[in-house]
Amino acid sequence: MLRKPRTALIGAGRMGAALLRGWGAVHSFEPAGSVLVVDPNLSEKVEDLVKQNSARSSATTDKDMLAKLETLVLAIKPQKFEEIAQTLAPILPKKVLIISVIAGVSLQRIEHYFGPGPHVRAMPNTAAEVGKSISVICANKHVSTAHTQRVFELLEAVGQVEQLDDERLMDVVTAVSGSGLAYFFLLVEVLAAAGQAEGLPKDLAQKLAKETLVGSGALMDQLDQSPADLRSGVTSPGGTTAAALDVMMGNGAFAEMMRNAVSAATRRGGQLRNVS
Ligand SMILES: NC(=O)c1ccc[n+]([C@@H]2O[C@H](COP(=O)([O-])OP(=O)(O)OC[C@H]3O[C@@H](n4cnc5c(N)ncnc54)[C@H](OP(=O)(O)O)[C@@H]3O)[C@@H](O)[C@H]2O)c1
């Protein structure tokens, strides 16, 4: 007979499925039945992951199923948080570690619905799908060293993890690394469009732009050099790169645009938190 689950994942959409894949890779499902996946519409992909790892899945859950639960991971949409928290709070055992990856749901709000206990807010990004997320966590005062280790274990399965003490900075984190992937995708789009405008065939321009970003990432990952040093390394005085960088950096326009973009995303995070 399967054991009662120790860890439950509520919501197995894009982020939940990425976490499951990561946990499968680092064998977090051992022993069989220790992980429960709750989602009313499990995708085939998630069903396969559940089967491959001898986990359990269910459309709903109840007090008996959660009797031995130690860790609850919330990966549902922000607008579902209140309803799901109200259903789960009365049936959770006391002192369950709650990890929420829900954007904009504060530790205070989690405590409002679940009562005092060890709660962690985490902000991963979609690179979790390929094990390359950078997640930032923020814990409340009830979180012990053992809890923190567990959080790192679960999130390191999809990439790297950093910790912040000041929860107010989570909106900036969301603006930099939560939303940040989109900025680099945009950079590839506009670089490709610029290459095309200068005469390159569309497909080639797109491939060159994409692979250049991939190559830059790999260099930053593998060489122990700052981005500024890497940039200097490919910029000969008076050369072609310098001509382009003069346009981008000459009047500070690029830095100012990024500053304004991150500031807008940070403000929007605050607004969404206040209306949700
Ligand atoms: N995706 C990202 O890059 C990313 C990054 C950082 C943080 N996050 C956060 O992660 C959370 C999930 O995002 P996502 O992109 O994975 O969303 P998603 O793909 O919509 O996944 C949410 C899942 O929860 C399911 N669900 C709905 N009601 C439920 C219930 N009562 N019990 C259990 N599961 C239920 C949904 O099913 P239905 O589709 O049938 O409603 C869906 O499968 C969000 O709060 C988001 O802020 C996401």
Fold (topology level) of 178-275 = ProC C-terminal domain-like fold (1.10.3730)
Predicted local confidence at residue 104, as pLDDT: 87
- 29 pLDDT band, cuts 50/70/90, is confident
Residue from 39, 73, 133 to probe ligand 1 pocket by mutation (most atoms less than 8 Å from CB): 39
80 Cα: distance to centroid of ligand 1 (angstroms): 9
With a pLDDT cut of 70, the percent of the chain lying above it is 98
264-276 mean pLDDT: 82
Q: Convert the pLDDT of each residue in 202-215 to its tens digit.
A: 999 999 999 999 99
Looking at residue 210, its pLDDT comes to 98
- Quick: pLDDT tens for 78-101: 999 999 999 999 999 999 999 999
Q: Mean pLDDT of all residues in the chain?
A: 94
Q: pLDDT of 4-13, one tens digit each?
A: 899 999 999 9
Q: Does domain 7-170 have CATH number 3.40.50.720?
A: yes
Residue by residue, DSSP assigns the chain as -PPPPSEEEE--SHHHHHHHHHHHHTTTTTTTT-EEEE-TT--HHHHHHHHHTT-EEESS--TTTTTT--EEEE-S-GGGHHHHHHHHGGGSPTT-EEEE--TT--HHHHHHHH-SS-EEEEE--GGGGGT-EEEEEEE-TT--HHHHHHHHHHHHTTEEEEE-S-GGGHHHHIIIIITHHHHHHHHHHHHHHHHHHTT--HHHHHHHHHHHHHHHHHHHHHS---HHHHHHHT--TTSHHHHHHHHHHTTSHHHHHHHHHHHHHHHHHHHHHHH-
Indicate where the chain has its CATH 1.10.3730.10 domain(s).
178-275
Distance 74 CA to ligand 1 centre (A): 9
Q: Report percent pLDDT > 90 for the chain.
A: 88
Give residue 1's pLDDT band: very low, low, confident or very high (50, 70, 90).
low
pLDDT at 233 > cutoff 90? yes
- What's the confidence (pLDDT) of residue 275? 61
| Global pTM value | 0.92
- pLDDT (mean) for 108-121: 96
Q: Are 270 and 106 in contact (CB under 8 A)?
A: no
**Is a pLDDT exceeding 90 seen at residue 195?**
yes
Condensed to tens digits (0 to 9), the pLDDT of residues 66-81 reads 999 999 999 999 999 9
Whether 269 is in the pocket of ligand 1, judged by its Cβ within 6 Å, is no
Q: If you take atom 32 of ligand 1, which residue's CA is the nearest one?
A: 39
Q: Is the pLDDT of residue 189 over 60?
A: yes
Residue 84 Cβ contacting ligand 1 at under 6 Å: yes
pLDDT for the residue numbered 246: 93
pLDDT of 271: 85
Please report where in the chains the tokens 């009365």 appear, as a residue: 90
Segment 134-146, tens digit of pLDDT: 999 999 999 999 9
The residue whose CA is least distant from atom 3 of ligand 1 is 126
CATH 3.40.50.720 spans which residues of the chain? 7-170
* C-alpha distance from residue 59 to each of 41, 68, 259 (Å): 7, 19, 43
